[in-house]
């Protein structure tokens, strides 16, 4: 779940005496409000901007919105609770506000005006976020895709070159996966791939990143040296017999490890880990090997 926290957490900075709250202020620049809300394609930023705006003009000190698996939160969350539904022809947002004092009828009108301006920019940001996710993640397994991997490994190697920690790459290949597809069909193959991706997510640490870059080929960017990568690899091997989606088809894997060396190109690091993976296959599969070259 993505908890979207605003950068402006404390709207008390914008609170004034209750008689100075904006009600139907003719000087309210609605164009400026709309421009501010459309100023970002990050839904968290759009929501934070909306919170800041209503916090400036109304006795609102916090708000939250839950959409699918995303929860957006701004401000403090105690006080008088107000539930509101923001809707147009296609969209429905259930918003919860936290108030310092109840809103007057005129203030409710002002809030409705602000809410009507939120739907389009928030929807635009949510759609952009969805498209960005589709461009970066494998649609079947939910792991990062090849494009995302190239970005991530470049960032990891740049950090290593600045002497900000070590990084190792793990290349993984499912053993005899082609035979599984030939015998049981691609649906069974997809079933196994999804199960193996779930296993990887369980096995890696929060600092590691996992990707599916080919049919049955996976890579893990591990923060640390080969010993850190070995722990992850051994954990994967140990977990496989306990995973029903894999034991059903007797699936195993071969893994190769390579630790990045200074100024090493990403392709060279991958080639070293890939060679180690093939060494694991030659050693009998269901194991890992390390390329120290």
Q: How far apart are CA 42 and CA 102, in angstroms?
A: 31
Q: How far apart are CA 58 and CA 190, in angstroms?
A: 52
Query: In 3D, which of 212, 207, 118, 215 has the Cα closest to residue 164?
Result: 207
User: Count of alpha carbons within 13 Å of 230, Cβ hemisphere only?
Assistant: 7
- Element of type H or E holding 217: strand 217-223
Q: Supply φ then ψ for residue 61, to 5 degrees.
A: -110, -5
Q: How far apart are CA 52 and CA 153, in angstroms?
A: 37
Q: At what angle do helices 226-239 and 186-203 cross, to 10 degrees?
A: 130
Catalytic, 138? Answer no
- 203 and 254 in contact (C-beta within 8 Å)? no
- 57 and 23 in contact (C-beta within 8 Å)? no
Tokens, residue 112: 């409705």
- 152 and 221 in contact (C-beta within 8 Å)? yes
Q: How far apart are CA 207 and CA 220, in angstroms?
A: 11
Residues facing 256 on adjacent strands: 171, 289
Quickly list H helices, 87-168: 105-136, 146-161
Q: Supply φ then ψ for residue 229, to 5 degrees.
A: -70, -35
Catalytic residue among 216, 238, 267, 274: 216
Per the document, the length of the chain is 293
Report, as residue numbers or ranges, the catalytic residues. Answer: 216
């Amino acid at each position: 779940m993505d908890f979207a926290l605003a950068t402006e957490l404390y709207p008390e900075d914008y609170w004034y005496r209750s008689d100075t709250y904006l009600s139907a202020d003719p000087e309210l620049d609605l164009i400026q409000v709309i421009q501010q809300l459309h100023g970002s394609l990050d839904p968290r930023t759009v929501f934070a901007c909306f919170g800041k705006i209503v916090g400036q003009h109304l006795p609102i000190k916090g708000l939250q919105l839950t959409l699918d698996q995303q929860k957006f939160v701004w401000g403090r969350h105690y006080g008088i609770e107000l539930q509101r539904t923001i809707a147009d022809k296609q969209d429905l947002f259930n918003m919860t506000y936290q108030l310092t004092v109840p809103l007057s009828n005129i203030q409710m009108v002002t809030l409705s005006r602000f809410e009507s301006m939120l739907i389009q920019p928030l929807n635009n940001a949510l759609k952009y976020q969805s498209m960005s996710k589709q461009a970066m993640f494998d649609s079947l397994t939910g792991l990062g895709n090849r494009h995302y991997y190239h970005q991530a490994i470049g960032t990891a190697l740049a950090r290593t070159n600045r002497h900000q920690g070590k990084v190792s790459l793990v290349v993984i290949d499912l053993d005899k996966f082609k035979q599984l597809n030939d015998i049981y069909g691609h649906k069974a193959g997809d079933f196994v791939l999804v199960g193996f991706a779930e296993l990887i997510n369980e096995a890696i640490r929060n600092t590691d990143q996992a990707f599916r870059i080919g049919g049955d080929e996976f890579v893990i960017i591990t923060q640390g040296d080969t010993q850190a990568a070995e722990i992850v690899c051994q954990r994967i091997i140990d977990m496989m017999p306990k995973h029903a989606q894999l034991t059903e088809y007797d699936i195993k894997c071969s893994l190769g490890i390579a630790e990045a060396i200074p100024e090493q190109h990403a392709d060279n690091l991958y080639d070293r880990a890939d060679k180690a993976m093939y060494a694991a296959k030659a050693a009998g599969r269901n194991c890992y090997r390390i390329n120290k070259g």
